[in-house]
Amino acid sequence: IDHISPRTFETPVSSFTMAAMRTMLSSRLSSSARPAGRAFAAAATKPQVFSIYRYDPERAAKPFMQEYTIDLKQCGPMILDALIKVKDEVDSTLSFRRSCREGICGSCAMNINGKNGLACLLYIEPGAAPIEIQPLPHSYVVKDLVPDLTNFYNQYK
């Protein structure tokens, strides 16, 4: 549609064409945005369990996984929303980085269910198994989900 000039749509016949194009595009976008059989947080009826990596070098000798149960009806659709809910309402000692919430800065990068990604861009996909959240596997951990970025910044200089 970007390459078609606005004049193309000024004729009476083209009003049908424009409506047909809108219908076609909206049906393609809605079907590609949500694959069949995929559940999202807003449609969840059961609370979701999150298994989150915890490590505080001042208190614990070993890292461990701690489970939190979140009611997804009271939470936003993204993994980052669940982490914020845990920190604000369940366990204020949880530490993680966040900044832009738009997938630009990369500060919320972590390992979610075995795949590296940005918590602000990944949807919560409800299921019976806990959603496992860990820090990035290639970095040292300062605390909980906060990676040590010293080497990254030294290489960036």
Q: What sign results for the dihedral spanned by CA atoms 41, 88, 91, 120?
A: positive
Tens digits of per-residue pLDDT, 58-115?
887 799 999 999 999 999 999 999 999 999 999 999 999 999 888 888 899 999 999 9
Distances from the Cα of 49 to the Cαs of 54, 78, 83, 139, in angstroms? 15, 14, 12, 25
Structure token pair of residue 137? 């596997």
Contact in structure between 99 and 107 (CB atoms under 8 Å)? yes
CA 51 to CA 53: how far, in whole Å?
Answer: 7
Amino acid at 79: I
CA atoms within 13 A on the CB side of 42: 2
Indicate the pTM of the whole model: 0.71
**Residues 39-44: what's their mean pLDDT?**
59
| Alpha helices (H) in 86-146, listed in sequence order | none
